[in-house]
Chains A and B, each alone.
Chain A
């Protein structure tokens, strides 16, 4: 027997595999493909205080080994979520995480206050890093002062597990990570999408309605691994790693780099069952190398 359960600074996951926000829907969209209850967790669609229609179509461009998106946090707002979606989520036996976004500190605070009351949602993933909203979002995530301020204010009203999701679109992610830790983040998740762009040479126009968008998929994995490695060496809170994880090998690499759990994003679009395949794959890997606990490989990258 190998133990896959993870204690993320108080947040218990039955295994370290979480569906990433914006690719997970609300979890139930996966019912046809997998047993959602077997997942370590689901980070549900980015939610804001008020309804957001999101950006205009086209919102997607395929790129080499990846894709750009410019969804722009389309969601119906937290009240709609609580009334119409949250009741359905209670039926699942997996850790539901609310991905929370805002454009002002007041919005973040009001949203997280409401989220604090949701008994079946033991954690929020504070998204201070979305590249697809004009105001706020990433603006907070790209400076230490911004991250400090939003985490500090949210921490006052949110008393459960506070995971802060970091942007890779910064000069020094380590400084940002430390700022989030200092203000009371319980864990960090990284990375969000990398700001990118696609151009259609024939029409001489950008492919996305917003011109720039967020890059995800295998194309970003080396950057993500590097950031997880750097941050895990600099903070004492657990890290949830993501960025281009397509299979078990990718997942193991993130654990070795220092991630205590991982999220699967874009890979779901290629194979909606991949999360379960990766959970099984991690177990097989641990058995193969005679480990008894996932903990035994976390941060165990050999550098000498």
Chain B
């Protein structure tokens, strides 16, 4: 898979809520194949931001030669991106990383925490023809932090947990009753404590589980070795090149 560095124009900038937004980027010319779970590394042209910022690919459309990013404004880089306008260009390195594997299965569960839902939308779309029964489980502090679940209508059965019980079941994703079901596979992306809890849950139950990690990155293409995760065999592997998606049983939790 060839990585490219390209200037892409913002064709759409959609507000999701106060601190979340979706940027759609268009590329002329050759458009690479994009796998769900892959990510991009964006240059933020702001004097206070030095390194590129990594974001999962939220959706991709080969015909339109475009893909989108779901971004949470958390700091200087993401806030600067939030203030971009349609027609502005971004310097983007993509597609990066390995992506989720897309096997045929009967019943799978996608679990997202926070902006971890970002890659799961494109994943659900790509799994649609391969999997009978897709479930999505998302968790947040309260109802207003639950994002974009309506996009999954017709793609997946949605399950929700909130810590304050304002929507769905009370608690964390790892407490949700849907986990009692038998799944052939779990795909997950989110903050480390959540992915870890799910990975351990899946390992315990011997369910195949793919986790996507969000380690801090400098290069995004495997040369700096800053983004490493530890494997069961105590080897440090790059999450940007050998990941960000890993089989949960290969990592040291």
Q: A residues engaging B (CB < 8 A)? A: 22-25, 29-30, 32-33, 45, 53-54, 56-60, 62-67, 69, 71, 74, 217, 266, 268-273
B4 near A29 (CB under 8 angstroms)?
no
- Residue with the greatest number of chain A CB neighbours at <10 A, chosen from B219, B220, B224, B227: B224
Asked if A22 meets B224 with Cβ closer than 8 Å, knowing A57-B230, A60-B216, A268-B219, the reply is: yes
In the complex, what residues of A have CB within 8 A of residue B228's CB? 54, 57, 59, 74
Other-chain residue from A23, A57, A64, A65 in contact with B224 (beta carbon distance below 8 A) = A23
- Residue with the greatest number of chain A CB neighbours at <10 A, chosen from B91, B221, B235, B241: B221
Other-chain residue from A33, A62, A268, A270 in contact with B3 (beta carbon distance below 8 A) = A33
Q: B residues engaging A (CB < 8 A)? A: 2-5, 43, 48, 50-52, 91, 93, 215-230, 234-236, 241
B4 near A32 (CB under 8 angstroms)?
yes
Docked pose: A54 CA to B229 CA in angstroms: 11
Given A32-B3, A271-B43; 8 other pairs, CB 8 A cutoff = A45-B223, A57-B227, A60-B217, A60-B224, A67-B51, A266-B218, A269-B218, A269-B219
A29 near B226 (CB under 8 angstroms)?
no
B225 near A59 (CB under 8 angstroms)?
yes
Asked if A270 meets B52 with Cβ closer than 8 Å, knowing A29-B222, A60-B224, the reply is: yes
Asked if A54 meets B219 with Cβ closer than 8 Å, knowing A59-B225, A270-B52, the reply is: no
Report B220 CB to chain A, min CB distance, Å. 8
Docked pose: A135 CA to B24 CA in angstroms: 49
Docked pose: A136 CA to B217 CA in angstroms: 27
Docked pose: A147 CA to B172 CA in angstroms: 56
Report B217 CB to chain A, min CB distance, Å. 8
Other-chain residue from B217, B221, B229 in contact with A29 (beta carbon distance below 8 A) = B221
Docked pose: A22 CA to B224 CA in angstroms: 6
Report B95 CB to chain A, min CB distance, Å. 11
Docked pose: A163 CA to B226 CA in angstroms: 26
In the complex, what residues of B have CB within 8 A of residue A53's CB? 234-236
Residue of B nearest to A52 (CB): B236
**For the complex, would chain B's binding face be called helix, strand, loop or mixed by DSSP majority?**
loop
Residue of B nearest to A273 (CB): B5
Docked pose: A57 CA to B239 CA in angstroms: 11
Report A53 CB to chain B, min CB distance, Å. 5
Docked pose: A269 CA to B2 CA in angstroms: 17
In the complex, what residues of A have CB within 8 A of residue B234's CB? 53
Q: What are 17 pairs between A and B in contact, CB < 8 Å?
A: A22-B225, A23-B219, A23-B224, A24-B223, A32-B2, A53-B234, A54-B236, A57-B229, A58-B226, A60-B218, A60-B224, A65-B50, A71-B224, A217-B50, A269-B219, A269-B220, A270-B52
B223 near A29 (CB under 8 angstroms)?
yes
A59 near B226 (CB under 8 angstroms)?
yes
**For the complex, would chain A's binding face be called helix, strand, loop or mixed by DSSP majority?**
loop
A268 near B236 (CB under 8 angstroms)?
no
Other-chain residue from B5, B50, B219, B235 in contact with A66 (beta carbon distance below 8 A) = B50
The list of the 4 closest CB pairs from A to B, nearest first, reads A60-B226, A25-B223, A32-B3, A269-B219
In the complex, what residues of A have CB within 8 A of residue B224's CB? 22-23, 60, 69, 71, 269
A270 near B51 (CB under 8 angstroms)?
yes
In the complex, what residues of A have CB within 8 A of residue B225's CB? 22, 45, 54, 59, 71, 74
In the complex, what residues of B have CB within 8 A of residue A63's CB? 50
A23 near B223 (CB under 8 angstroms)?
yes
In the complex, what residues of A have CB within 8 A of residue B222's CB? 25, 29
Other-chain residue from B2, B43, B217, B229 in contact with A270 (beta carbon distance below 8 A) = B43
Report B146 CB to chain A, min CB distance, Å. 26
In the complex, what residues of B have CB within 8 A of residue A268's CB? 219, 223
Residue of A nearest to B43 (CB): A270
A269 near B236 (CB under 8 angstroms)?
no
In the complex, what residues of B have CB within 8 A of residue A54's CB? 225, 228, 236
Report A292 CB to chain B, min CB distance, Å. 33
Report A87 CB to chain B, min CB distance, Å. 19
Docked pose: A261 CA to B229 CA in angstroms: 35
Docked pose: A100 CA to B227 CA in angstroms: 23
In the complex, what residues of B have CB within 8 A of residue A57's CB? 215, 227-230, 236
Docked pose: A71 CA to B221 CA in angstroms: 15
Docked pose: A53 CA to B91 CA in angstroms: 33
Residue of B nearest to A54 (CB): B236
A58 near B223 (CB under 8 angstroms)?
no
Report B51 CB to chain A, min CB distance, Å. 5
Docked pose: A234 CA to B227 CA in angstroms: 40
In the complex, what residues of A have CB within 8 A of residue B236's CB? 53-54, 57, 74
Report B36 CB to chain A, min CB distance, Å. 20
Docked pose: A65 CA to B75 CA in angstroms: 16
Docked pose: A65 CA to B50 CA in angstroms: 6
Other-chain residue from B43, B218, B229 in contact with A69 (beta carbon distance below 8 A) = B218
Docked pose: A60 CA to B223 CA in angstroms: 13
Report B34 CB to chain A, min CB distance, Å. 15
